Structures are given as structure tokens and as C-alpha cells.
Structure 1
Amino acid sequence: MSMMRLLNNLPLFLILLGSHLSLHMIHAQTQDSCSSNLNIAGSQLLFDTTNLNCFPVWSSEGFILRYSQASPNLWNFVLSTPTTNSYIGMGFSPSGNMVGSSAVVGWIDSGAAVMKRYFLGGQTPSQVLVDAGNLQIFGNTSSLILDSSSSRLYLAFQLVTDGEPSRRLVFSVGDSSNPPPRSASGFRLTQHRTMAAIRLNYASGQASKIKAPYSNLKRTHGILNMFGWGILLPIGVIVARYFKHLDPLWFYVHTGIQSLGFILGLSGVIAGFVLDNKLEVNVRNHKGLGITILTLGCLQVLALLARPSIDAKTRIYWNWYHYSVGRIAIFFAIVNIFYGIHVADAGSSWNASYGLILGIFVVTTLVLEFMRLKKN
């Protein structure tokens, strides 16, 4: 009976855990911001940083850009990012795409700071050329600083330009599962884990996000998965737990909701595979979780087809299996939805919207559970 009680209360636990994860991802803050002065403990930048403009160019990754015009043809840039186990990069793009950009990239290798220029000539590592591109770095003023007090990296350089630098800026983070570029490999740059692109007005300090390729397909992928796995499936569980007194209506409603959720979720996964082939970005963890959720959903469909009669001796074991697989699928779905929002850099509004939906689920579940216990 204790096992059955644990399984019955698992949806509430999963929703609460998902809410906790979402709040953790939403409220995780870095120790640098545009409201604070640039103060790098134990380090000294090699040019004047007293009058830098500041803009949070990539909030989900904690990227903060400070810049100023030092003279008609000289610009100061300081990119502040959280410390990573791979590289961080900033590129100046003619079109807003990674390909065709010239970039400054930095990383920490065995405790030593390394900073290189690259030309992003294509999507394969062999097309990304080191010490190439059209960026002209002024003198010996460039540096990559690791601030141990804040655990942040500061990529600083002065750029010589003929007029204003490109307003289309791209930013990237390397994949921590791959080693940083090494001299033995010619400092070959591996594929980035994620990237962002903005259009920055240097005079006003206003910036806008550049629309990414296949953005509509990305949005469709996210909406289908959110509604299918992350909204309809929990609603179906709530119906099955708290409305069994409406027999047999509850069963048909539960089956209908879960079937629709599976169909939408399957469509979302298919859209994800299409995106994976087109964009050639590293979303291994997100993809792996999605495949796991789809597998668990297929197991639930098979379980429905093999459902024993209500008076069969094996029915109790089928119930345990059905409850456990369903709740595990919902748990992974909640985690993957927030992780997908993070990977896509979709913004806080997506996190807040889905977090609000989970909050409604929590309140509804608590009220229904109280009413259920009161009746018993």
C-alpha cells in the first residue's frame, strides 16, 4: 500500500520538482551586471575602461558587453561571461550569421589564458581559420582575464576600424565535452554548443535580437512539445486520479487527452529531428531527453493495448507499470521543456509562462488532493 500511495502522490512531487528546477534556471544570476562597475580583482585591463557603455547581450548565458569609442577609428570592447570549460567567442558579422563572421575567441587551457582571431568560413571545423578574418586588433592591448573572485571571464580588446564596427554581433559558447583548441591541432575550433546574434546600435545602446534561421519551426517544435508532453499529459494524470467517481467518463476523457498529448508530442519530436538536421547545432542532451520521453510515451501506448481486465490478478502490476512510466515521462518532459527554452535562448517569457502553468497545476492538485482526503 505504501508503494501505491507513493505512486499516487508522484505527480504532485514531479510538478513541484519541475517548478523548483524552473525557478532555479530563471533566477540563476551572475555576479556581474550593467548596474555594477567593472572591477576585476587582481587583474588590470590594458586600456581605459572608465566610460564604457554596457548591455546584457545574452541573458540566458550571462554574456555582458561593454564598449566605447576611444577615437574615430578605435573601439574598446570588454565581453564578460561566466567561466566555462570551453571557449567563448564574439564575432562581427556582415549578415548576422555565424558563417562569414570574423571573431575573437578566448579560453582557459591548463590555467593559461588563450585568445585568438578566427574567420568563420563555414560550418565545419576545417573551414574555421585561425589568425584570419578582417578584424584588426590594436597593438598588445587585447587580453583574456579570469577573475577568480567572480568566476568570470573577461575578453578585452581594442578594434581598429574604418568607421563604425559591424552592428551585427554573434556570440558563442563551446561544447564543454570537447577539449579547448590546442596548438597540436592548429588551434582548430570545434563546433559551438549554442550561439546568439544581435543587432547593436552603438550610439543609442539599443539592441535587438536577430531572427535565427528556421525560427518558426523552432517555435512550432517548442509549442507542440510543451502542449503535448508538458500540459496535456499532466492534465490527463489529474483526471485519472481525481475523477474516477465519474465512471466511465473519466476513462474516455483520460484516454482522449493522453492520446492527443502523445500525437502533439510526437509531432514536436519530429519537428526537432528536422531542426537537428538543418541547423547542425549541438543539442545532444536535449535530443537525448526528447527520445527518452518519446520512448516512454510509446511504452504507454503499448501498455494500453495490453491492459488486462480490471479483475485480473496481473492488473495491480500493470497499474504500477502504467503509473510509474507515465509519471517518469512527465518528469523528463518538464525538465526538457525548461532545458529546451534555455538552449533556444527563447527568453524569460517562455520560462515564466510555463512556470505559471505548472503553478496552476500545483494549486489544482493540492485542492483536489485535500478534497479527496477529506472524503476518505
Structure 2
Amino acid sequence: MKSSCWVFIIAFIIAIDVYGLSSSLVNSQADSCSSNLNLNGSVSFDTSSLRCLPVWDGQGFILRYSQTASNIWSFVLSAPDTNSYIAIGFSTNGAMVGSSAVVGWVDPSNVGTVKQYHLGGTSPSLVSPDQGSLQFVSGSTAIVSQSSRLYMAFQLQTNQPESRLLYSVGQGGVLPSAPNFALSEHQAKVSTTINYGTGQSASGGSPYGRLRRSHGVLNMLGWGILMIIGAMVARYLKEKDPIWFYFHISIQSFGFLLGVVGVICGFVLNDRLNANVTAHKGLGIFILVLGCLQVMAFLARPNKMSKWRKYWNWYHHNVGRILFIFAVANIFYGIHLGGEGHGWSVGYGVVLAVLFISTFVLEVRIWIRK
């Protein structure tokens, strides 16, 4: 593996990671459950007796609610005003796809808007405004900006709201607008559960969390780490013939098996979540096909003395390089889609950095010898 190829891979990785990297500092001291809620008559229903609980400390989200009639529930969601939308979703299983969300924002002219969205998929085109299963009490929706915080109020007609709640905050300065009110991708999100009787809220975790982690870890280890290490063995341990060959085959075979199982986990996860991850899925299938071609190439490997051997080497090396590039890119893209946070991206990036530095040192060693 030539060092120029590795430079291209690392540059590609950094571009993806930096593009997806964002952080925010949240000041939630302007509102707390110990403070009195005063919305100055901006809300049509009584907010003085609402139960209050912090629901997302990382973003300063506070939820107030109460059952005001047998089939009417009142809600006020408070969050820092970062010139973005805030949202609360009601889900049957904790998944975003298939849920209904209440989304609100205040534009630069101080006009507030609250809308219901049906989350039909993960792409913005599948998030439909003014659709969903929630039934609002007429005239109950409102959102105001006060003391650098947003207060979104609404009432639902239901005997019991869903206990799996989703919260999200949009990207700063990106607000839905007429005529289609398309909702841009959120900056951050969290899934929680709530017990309306006791007033306790806890992180709900991701649906099918174990399957998600298995899919990510297996693909990361198989396609994104072991395959690269196997290629390094083939390039830098050639003088240890034939040990290098057996090491190379063993590592690549193990990485391929882990990758195949990871892809299978991905298909199962996609079927259960019914998520719209067409690009990620397509890249995964492409990577799997490249891996299968490498296995077939090994089985059809010509003798060293054959005139076809140089063409086989060219094919084998370049298909492997293409596989590495797309595998690394798709791993970072999958971390982004899964909303696993920057820890996974940073951790995998550190592993790649170690591999890159090792490759650079070994390349220099080869150059010095020549």
C-alpha cells in the first residue's frame, strides 16, 4: 500500500469528520424546576400547576406537563434559544421513524410557529409537516422567546400520551420556512422514557441498541481495521516469506468474516427500523461486493511465473485500496447516522491515525533501504 493512497484516505476521513463535527455550550440557568413559570398570558391554558422535570441536561431541556382533564394533557417544553427549532416526539417504540413530533421555532421577526411533523424516515424529504397522529386541542399551541429561552406550549387530546419521548434541537440559524416548512436535520437528539405518574424521566437509549452496536463494531473491526492491517502485513513483511502470506490471509479472512456478519446485522437492523439509509446501505453492499471479489481473486490467483500475475497484482491491490476508502468513509457516515456522538468518531479516528503513522514510518524505512 503506497503512502500516497494513505494520505488520500486520511484527508478524506478528516474532511468527513470535520464536516459532521459540531458542539454547543448550553446555559440552562435561566430556567429551572425551582423557578416560577410566567409566560405573560402567551399561553391559552393554565401553566401554574404543571409538574416539572429536567429531561435533557446536555441541552438544558425542561419539560412541564399535567393531565388537566380525563383526555387532555398540557405540555410546556423549555430550552435555550439558539436561533434554531426545538422538538419533542412521541414514539411507540423509542425510534424516530414512525413517530409524531411537535416542533417549534421563533423567527428573527419574533414570530413563533408550532407545527406537527410525521417522521416517516431519516431524510428531510420524508419528514412531513402538518401530519402525524397527535391531536392538538384547538388554539393551544404557542411558542415564545423569553429570557434567552424558548417555551413551547401545547395540549394533546389523548387518554395517555406515549411514554417514549424524543427530543431534538436544530442547527443554529436554520429555521423552517414557507411554503413547504421543510425540517432540516437536527444538530442533536436524545431518546428518553417518562413515567407520567411519578414524574421520572430516564434515557431510553436507542431502539435495538445491541444490534446497532454489533453492526457498527463488526464492520469497523472487519472492513475498517483488520483489512487495513492485513494489507500492511502484505506490504511491509515481504522479507518474512512465507510467514507474511499466512498472516495476510488469516487477517484478511477474519476481517472479511466479521464484515459479512456486520453487513447481515445491518440488513436485519434496517428491516426492523424501516429506516431510510439508502446511501449507507448502498455503500455497504458495494463494499461487500468488493470483498467478495477479493476472495474470488485469491481463489483464482495465478502462479508467480505466469504472465498474468502482474495484471492480477494490479487488480488485487487497487480493488483493495478502493475497498479501504469506501469502508472508512461509510463507517464515519454510519456513526453519524446512528447518532452515537463524537466519541465513536474520535476513537476510530485515533486508530486510523496510529495505522497511518505506522504506515508512514514503514514507508520511510523502505525508502531508506532503497
Do Structure 1 and Structure 2 share a fold, with TM-score over 0.5? yes
Instruction: Tell me what 2:271 maps to.
Output: 277
- Do the aligned partners of 2:135 and 2:156 also contact (CA within 8 Å) in 1? no
Instruction: Tell me what 1:34 maps to.
Output: 26
Mapped partners of 2:61, 2:78: distance in 1: 6
> RMSD of the alignment, in Å?
5.0
Gapped regions of structure 1 (runs ≥ 5): 1-6, 39-45, 145-153, 175-179
Of 281-290 and 362-371, deviating more is 362-371
- Counterpart of 1:237 in structure 2: which amino acid? A
Instruction: Normalising by structure 2, report the TM-score.
Output: 0.68
Mapped partners of 2:326, 2:353: distance in 1: 17
Instruction: Tell me what 2:48 maps to.
Output: none
Instruction: Tell me what 2:173 maps to.
Output: none
Instruction: Tell me what 1:150 maps to.
Output: none
Select the residue among 166, 170, 173 that pairs with 1:170: 166
Gapped regions of structure 2 (runs ≥ 5): 31-37, 43-52, 69-73, 171-175
Cα 1:264–1:10 shift into 2, 3 Å? farther
Alignment of 1:148-159 (within 5 A): 157-159=152-154
- TM-superposition CA deviations, 1:137-158 (whole Å, max 9, x none): 86563379xxxxxxxxx98622
Q: Percent of pairs identical after alignment? A: 41
Matched, 1:253 2:251: no
Mapped partners of 1:232, 1:363: distance in 2: 16
- Counterpart of 1:357 in structure 2: which amino acid? V
1:358 match: secondary structure: helix
- Do the aligned partners of 1:102 and 1:134 also contact (CA within 8 Å) in 2? no
Return structure 1 stretches of 4+ with deviation > 6 angstroms.
Answer: 53-57, 70-74, 79-83, 119-122, 180-184
- TM-superposition CA deviations, 1:319-353 (whole Å, max 9, x none): 22111110110111111111111111122322222
Mapped partners of 2:102, 2:90: distance in 1: 9
Instruction: Tell me what 2:49 maps to.
Output: none
Q: In the TM superposition, what is the alpha-carbon distance from 1:363 to its structure 2 partner?
A: 1.7
- Counterpart of 1:209 in structure 2: which amino acid? S
Alignment of 1:108-257 (within 5 A): 115-117=114-116, 130=131, 133-136=134-137, 139=140, 141-142=142-143, 157-159=152-154, 168-171=164-167, 196-199=190-193, 208-257=202-251
Mapped partners of 2:367, 2:256: distance in 1: 31
Mapped partners of 2:250, 2:152: distance in 1: 59
Q: In the TM superposition, what is the alpha-carbon distance from 1:160 to its structure 2 partner?
A: 5.1
- Counterpart of 2:166 in structure 1: which amino acid? V
Mapped partners of 2:262, 2:77: distance in 1: 44
Q: How many residues matched?
A: 331
- Do the aligned partners of 2:100 and 2:118 also contact (CA within 8 Å) in 1? yes
Instruction: Tell me what 1:77 maps to.
Output: 78
Cα 1:33–1:21 shift into 2, 3 Å? same
- Do the aligned partners of 1:101 and 1:120 also contact (CA within 8 Å) in 2? yes
- Do the aligned partners of 1:221 and 1:271 also contact (CA within 8 Å) in 2? yes
Cα 1:247–1:68 shift into 2, 3 Å? closer
Select the residue among 324, 346, 367 that pairs with 1:373: 367
Q: In the TM superposition, what is the alpha-carbon distance from 1:213 to its structure 2 partner?
A: 2.5
Matched, 1:103 2:95: no
Select the residue among 324, 328, 343 that pairs with 1:330: 324
- Do the aligned partners of 1:66 and 1:78 also contact (CA within 8 Å) in 2? yes
Select the residue among 251, 265, 275 that pairs with 2:259: 265
Alignment of 1:305-316 (within 5 A): 305-316=299-310
Q: In the TM superposition, what is the alpha-carbon distance from 1:76 to its structure 2 partner?
A: 4.5
- Counterpart of 1:159 in structure 2: which amino acid? F
Matched, 1:295 2:289: yes
Q: In the TM superposition, what is the alpha-carbon distance from 1:275 to its structure 2 partner?
A: 1.0
Q: In the TM superposition, what is the alpha-carbon distance from 1:301 to its structure 2 partner?
A: 1.3
- Counterpart of 2:250 in structure 1: which amino acid? G
- Do the aligned partners of 1:119 and 1:133 also contact (CA within 8 Å) in 2? no
- Counterpart of 1:253 in structure 2: which amino acid? F
Q: In the TM superposition, what is the alpha-carbon distance from 1:262 to its structure 2 partner?
A: 1.0
Instruction: Tell me what 1:149 maps to.
Output: none
- TM-superposition CA deviations, 1:87-142 (whole Å, max 9, x none): 9842245774558965314699xxx99742368899xx9x9983752555865633
Of 224-233 and 356-365, deviating more is 356-365
- Do the aligned partners of 1:102 and 1:135 also contact (CA within 8 Å) in 2? no
Mapped partners of 1:224, 1:271: distance in 2: 9
Mapped partners of 1:157, 1:314: distance in 2: 70
Q: In the TM superposition, what is the alpha-carbon distance from 1:373 to its structure 2 partner?
A: 1.4
2:191 match: secondary structure: strand
Cα 1:171–1:249 shift into 2, 3 Å? same
Cα 1:342–1:209 shift into 2, 3 Å? farther
2:275 match: secondary structure: coil
Cα 1:260–1:70 shift into 2, 3 Å? closer
Of 227-236 and 99-108, deviating more is 99-108
Q: In the TM superposition, what is the alpha-carbon distance from 1:36 to its structure 2 partner?
A: 9.3
Of 317-326 and 16-25, deviating more is 16-25
Matched, 1:341 2:335: yes
Instruction: Normalising by structure 1, report the TM-score.
Output: 0.67
